[in-house]
Amino acid sequence: MDNITHSVIGLAAGELLHRSLPSEPQEPAQRTRRALFLFSAWFASNAPDLDLILTRLLPSPFGYLLHHRGHTHTLLLALPQALLLLAMLWLLWPAARRLLKDSSAARLGLALCMVLGFGLHMGMDFLNSYGIHPFYPFNSRWLYGDMVFIVEPMFWVLLGVPVIASLRSGIVKTVLLAALAAALCFFTYKNFLTPVACIVLLALGALLTVLQGRAGERGKGALLLAFALGATFIGVQGVASAVGRARVEAAVQQLNPGTRVWDVAMTAFPSHPLCWIYVALDSKTDVYTLRRGTMSVFPAALAPNACPAGLAETGQGGQLAPGIGLSAQATGSLASLRQLQSHNCYADAWLRFGRMPKLDHGLTDVRFNPDMLPNFTTIELEQFRARPCPAYVPGWGHPRADMLNLRE
């Protein structure tokens, strides 16, 4: 997810924990505890993205592909990140150090802030089609949620509004709420959100602002409602994704009976459970086929061209089935891909990330670009021909180990 989402989720979790634990006996200690919880949950909810500093260990684009959402996004390495946070707090924040010495509630809350912060970061990153591998090195398999768009305004509203409405400064509160409303209107103007989605988001923001205002400094109702609505939204997206995936698989098999569908990657539209971008990967004999397009989960209720135009596919314009548009298609040879993986160390490194590999003059993962055009994942293998094999390649599992006949 984007770091605005990670930040508002961490801040909301820290605020909720502060309001849920018994108050400190002195007001200065209470203020310190609130600041401590907000900072700690925010830091823990963003810290895994520090892996971006590791991207220089490999030539572009391998560094980003293999080290972002890498080691710092694993449960095992959440522990040293938590120790780093504790050391910073203990050494650089005397008031927090005194509070932690004296207050068991502060110690408990800080521990929960770290657990929730790191856990929510990995959980939210799991929700989209990019994937994580949280159990490495015990299990190197990539996990994909395929439920939520990587930049989701729903979370900005549900969790950001109660946090903003809790601020003491009326001017800052007004400016931030107005900026959030303006951003939603701008995304609607640019056709990334539908007008209906924008109205729903603005209404939810207004409701949560009122509820938080009535709740006061200790009230938890708005925050609890925000987390409940966020979980409900994720559940709805998960069901819609599963329904959409099943429809795409059925359409591919009906189009070409006897084909094997290896995978269907689903990418959501922001705040729109009915609209999705899919990439299907199937094969029959030695030929594998990639298909990409826009679909509506319930075609009777919504046609593909009714999805927000800013993210809709614009390619060849065919259909796999009613409500499932086809914007681009590519084929490749399974034997060639397997040969490349086993004999080319750069291709093997790339295939530790690539879930939907398009093979032509190089390799491109077609999850991330309209109409299967080159994107940040694209490599031209010829440029690495004279180089020695790359060092610092992490041992992530190959997402297409099944198709490559690898035992992992």
CB-based contacts of 231, cutoff 8 Å, min separation 6: none
Give the model's pLDDT for residue 168.
87
Size (the chain), residues: 408
Under 8 Å between Cβ of 274 and 361: no
**Element at 22 (helix H, strand E):** none
pLDDT surpasses 70 at 304: no
pLDDT in tens, 124-160: 999 999 999 999 999 999 999 999 999 999 999 999 9
Under 8 Å between Cβ of 254 and 246: no
pLDDT in tens, 7-25: 999 999 999 999 999 999 9
Distance CA 53, CA 205 (A): 35
Q: Residue 281: which of 401, 162, 400, 113 has the closest Cα?
A: 400
pLDDT in tens, 226-271: 999 999 999 999 999 999 999 999 999 999 898 999 999 999 999 9
Q: Residue 379: which of 398, 353, 342 has the closest Cα?
A: 353
Tokens 């400016």 map to which residue? 175
Distance CA 248, CA 261 (A): 10
pLDDT in tens, 353-384: 999 999 988 999 999 988 898 999 999 988 88
pLDDT surpasses 70 at 48: yes
Tokens 């891909």 map to which residue? 337
231 burial (CB, 10 Å; 0-12 / 13-18 / 19+) is: exposed
Q: What are phi and psi of 268, to 5 degrees?
A: -80, 155
Percent of the chain with pLDDT over 70: 98
Tokens 């912060």 map to which residue? 117
